[in-house]
């Protein structure tokens, strides 16, 4: 059988940085190749080079024997390559169905009318990925997972011979991951060649035929999933160890006024209820996790605390109401949110983003804080001058967390911090949180659907489901009382 996609000696340089170095592999029809590696190892860059979004510095990308390296993206797309981007990039003004229709259109200036076949086909694809119910809605009204579905739908619509899928599982619940795995599996069944990148190692291993591991732009291992996961280097630079639960000393002063006290919180988006009668409290120095599936209301809760959405009910901070304060005033008061969407200043450098975070600190404090953060995330130190927009997905996440910490918050709200991070970085982040806990009096509110990360770091856990808090308790009791659907 001949390979559909053959990559040889692929190299990509960004100025002095070699993001991809002499990478080669081939994928046959009906085969899924997994591409793994730590954040910033060059996985997305490989995909962009294949797709023609970045021009390879050297090397060949052969589609059924034709070298397409250096071709413009649209020609490569028409030659039979499709990509599912790491970040969903929906058009704002088009409905879900229009997005899928768009993907079905040929590149023709004279297409003045669509026949009904296209609409029907688009509806069929929407059904296949589970978007039937929301076909006529605009992307911004949809939950995260549905946007990822839309990306898959577009790839299906284009029906490319080679499908590049970048982090399809990031931010999804285990149920959704299973759905997506099945969809990606169906590409294989239909004879496509699939290149799959994701940090969800278990799901990747279960799905792929072979795995290639990268580190610092280079290939470090290739073989079956088992072989690669057992590889020394892969274990060291990518997988890391298990996330440990540290012993939690009892916090003193449990009965004092809680630092943050949320009572009877309600949020409406138009007619839809996003939060209903939510009450939570957080004591000084406590680590509290809010666990819930996508769309359950975690982000809305955090946005209400930061005063980014209008709400009913009360939110008290150190016994005083936050009502009427601007988001800026709340942040200066010590509540700092690291949002799911990151909100980095894309055209500013890593250093500038961090400096903005530390703007209100005395110079000396800011310098120490910066040093400490560079120790925590060494990659940021070496990338100080790079524009935030060009960082890899995981690097951006690290920068967002670092910028939030730079503000020396009293209460740090982390919304899905694990999104897109390699296992080894999760472990580092986990250790960092533990250090924070032991060396400072910081309070943390963590929103996660990844319970393997949320539980070890929590003194207390809330479970939020369908806009309401349905469970509160000790992490140790979570598994038996509320774990169904999360573990």
Partner 1 sequence: MLRSRTFLIVVPTLLVMALLPLGVGGYILGLLTLAYYYAVFAMSWDLLFGFAGEVNFGPSFLIGVGAYTAALLNHYWLWPIPPCLVAGAFAAVVAGAVLAVPALRLTGPYFGLVTLVAVLLLQNVLVLFAGITGGEIGLDLPDVLSIDDNTNYYYALAFMTVSGAILFGLSQSPVGLILQASGQDAIEAAALGFNVAKHKLAAFCISAFFSGLAGAMLIFYLGTASVGTVVDIAVGVNVIIAAVLGGRRTIIGAAVGSIFLIGAGEILRPLGQLSTFVVSAIALVVILFFPGGFMGRLLQAGGRE
Ligand X SMILES: Nc1ncnc2c1ncn2[C@@H]1O[C@H](COP(=O)(O)OP(=O)(O)OP(=O)(O)O)[C@@H](O)[C@H]1O
263 binds partner 1 (CB under 8 A): no
In the complex, the smallest distance separating the C-beta of residue 86 from Mg ion, rounded to whole angstroms, is 5
Give the Cα separation of 383 and 442 in Å (integer).
27
Q: Which of 44, 306, 337, 396 binds Mg ion (CB under 5 A)?
A: 44
140 binds partner 1 (CB under 8 A): no
In the complex, the smallest distance separating the C-beta of residue 374 from ligand X, rounded to whole angstroms, is 16
34 binds ligand X (CB under 6 A): no
Alpha-carbon separation of residue 114 from 90, 110, 148, 151, 162 (angstroms):
21, 11, 26, 22, 26
Query: What size, in residues, is the chain?
Result: 487
Segment contacting partner 1 by CB under 8 A, of 32-40, 136-144, 182-190, 409-417: 136-144
Q: Binding partner of residue 41 among partner 1, Mg ion, ligand X, none, CB under 5 to 8 Å per kind? A: ligand X
112 binds partner 1 (CB under 8 A): yes
369 binds Mg ion (CB under 5 A): no
Q: Binding partner of residue 89 among ligand X, Mg ion, partner 1, none, CB under 5 to 8 Å per kind? A: partner 1
Closer to ligand X by Cβ: residue 168 or 420: 420
485 binds partner 1 (CB under 8 A): no
Site pattern 73..102 for Mg ion (x: CB under 5 A): -------------x----------------
On whether the CB atoms of residues 15 and 37 are closer than 8 A, the answer is: no
Give the Cα separation of 90 and 281 in Å (integer).
36
C-alpha count within 13 angstroms, C-beta hemisphere, residue 41: 25
Three-state SS for 397-465 is HHHHHHHHHHCCCCEEEEECCCCCCCHHHHHHHHHHHHHHHHHCCCEEEEEECCHHHHCCCCCEEEEEE
101 binds partner 1 (CB under 8 A): yes
Give the Cα separation of 68 and 60 in Å (integer).
7
42 binds Mg ion (CB under 5 A): no
306 binds ligand X (CB under 6 A): no
Q: Give the neighbor-by-neighbor strand order of the sheet with 17-28.
A: 17-28, 3-14, 58-63, 66-67
Q: Binding partner of residue 311 among partner 1, ligand X, Mg ion, none, CB under 5 to 8 Å per kind? A: none
Q: What is the dihedral of CA 389, 395, 401, 407, to 10 degrees?
A: -60
Segment contacting Mg ion by CB under 5 A, of 310-318, 324-332, 366-374, 385-393: 385-393
C-alpha angle 72/74/76, rounded to 5°?
70
Closer to ligand X by Cβ: residue 45 or 449: 45
Segment contacting partner 1 by CB under 8 A, of 74-82, 330-338, 354-362, 455-463: 74-82
Give the number of other Cβ atoms within 10 Å of residue 417's Cβ.
26
Q: Which of 58, 102, 348, 436 binds partner 1 (CB under 8 A)?
A: 102
Three-state secondary structure call for residue 359: coil
Q: Binding partner of residue 484 among ligand X, Mg ion, partner 1, none, CB under 5 to 8 Å per kind? A: none
393 binds Mg ion (CB under 5 A): yes
In the complex, the smallest distance separating the C-beta of residue 76 from partner 1, rounded to whole angstroms, is 9
Kind and range of the H or E run holding 332:
helix 327-332
161 binds partner 1 (CB under 8 A): no
**DSSP helix, strand, coil percent of the chain (3-state; round to 5):** 40, 25, 35
Give the Cα separation of 279 and 336 in Å (integer).
20
Extract the tokens encoding 142.
Answer: 């949809």
On whether the CB atoms of residues 314 and 323 are closer than 8 A, the answer is: yes
On whether the CB atoms of residues 165 and 200 are closer than 8 A, the answer is: no
269 binds ligand X (CB under 6 A): no
393 binds ligand X (CB under 6 A): yes
Residue whose beta carbon is closest to ligand X: 394
105 binds partner 1 (CB under 8 A): yes
Segment contacting Mg ion by CB under 5 A, of 8-16, 331-339, 387-395, 463-471: 387-395
Antiparallel, parallel or unpaired: β 162-166 and 411-415: unpaired
Site pattern 42..81 for ligand X (x: CB under 6 A): xxxx------------------------------------
Residues in contact with Mg ion by the rule CB under 5 A: 44, 86, 392-393
Residues in contact with partner 1 by the rule CB under 8 A: 51-53, 72-75, 77-78, 82-83, 85, 89, 91-95, 98, 101-103, 105-114, 136-138, 154, 158
Residues in contact with ligand X by the rule CB under 6 A: 14, 17, 19, 37, 39-45, 86, 386, 390-395, 420
């Amino acid at each position: 059988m001949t390979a559909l996609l053959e990559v040889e000696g692929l190299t990509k340089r960004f100025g002095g940085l070699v993001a991809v170095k002499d990478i080669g592999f081939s994928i046959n029809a009906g085969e899924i190749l997994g591409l793994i590696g730590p954040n910033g190892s060059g996985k997305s860059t490989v995909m962009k080079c294949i797709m023609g979004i970045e021009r390879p510095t050297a090397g060949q990308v052969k589609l059924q024997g034709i070298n397409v390296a250096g071709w413009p993206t649209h020609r490569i797309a028409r030659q039979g390559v499709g990509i599912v981007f790491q970040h969903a990039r929906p058009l704002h003004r088009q409905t879900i169905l229009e997005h899928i229709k768009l993907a079905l259109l040929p590149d023709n200036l004279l297409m003045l009318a669509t026949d009904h076949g296209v609409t029907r086909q688009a509806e069929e694809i929407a059904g296949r990925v589970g978007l039937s119910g929301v076909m006529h809605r605009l992307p911004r009204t949809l939950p995260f997972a549905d946007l990822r579905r839309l990306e898959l739908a577009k790839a299906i619509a284009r029906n490319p011979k080679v499908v590049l899928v970048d982090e399809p599982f990031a931010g999804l619940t285990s149920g959704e991951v299973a759905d997506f795995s099945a969809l990606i599996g169906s590409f294989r069944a239909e004879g496509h060649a699939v290149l799959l990148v994701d940090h969800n190692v278990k799901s990747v291993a279960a799905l792929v035929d072979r795995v290639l591991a990268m580190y610092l732009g280079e290939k470090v291992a290739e073989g079956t999933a088992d072989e690669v996961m057992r590889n020394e280097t892969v274990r060291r630079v990518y997988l890391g160890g298990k996330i440990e639960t540290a012993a939690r000393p009892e916090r003193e002063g449990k009965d004092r006024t809680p630092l943050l006290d949320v009572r009877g919180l309600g949020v409406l988006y138009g007619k839809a209820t996003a939060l209903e009668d939510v009450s939570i409290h957080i004591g000084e120095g406590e680590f509290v996790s809010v666990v819930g599936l996508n769309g359950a209301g975690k982000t809305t809760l955090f946005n209400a605390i930061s005063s980014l959405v209008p709400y009913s009910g009360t939110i008290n901070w150190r016994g005083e109401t936050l009502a009427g304060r601007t988001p800026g005033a709340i942040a200066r008061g010590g509540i700092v949110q690291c949002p799911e969407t990151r909100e980095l200043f894309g055209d500013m450098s890593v250093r500038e983003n961090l400096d903005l975070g530390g703007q209100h600190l005395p110079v000396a404090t800011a310098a120490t804080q910066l040093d400490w953060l560079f120790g925590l995330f060494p990659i940021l130190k070496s990338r100080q001058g790079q524009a935030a927009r060009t960082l890899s997905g995981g690097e951006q996440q690290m920068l967002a967390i670092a910028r939030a910490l730079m503000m020396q918050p009293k209460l740090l709200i982390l919304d899905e911090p694990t999104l897109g991070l390699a296992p080894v970085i999760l472990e580092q982040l986990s250790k960092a949180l533990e250090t924070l806990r032991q060396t400072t009096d910081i309070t943390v509110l963590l929103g996660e659907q990844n319970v393997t990360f949320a539980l070890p770091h929590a003194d207390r856990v809330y479970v939020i489901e369908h806009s309401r808090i349905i469970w509160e308790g000790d992490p140790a009791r979570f598994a038996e009382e509320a774990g169904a659907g999360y573990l």
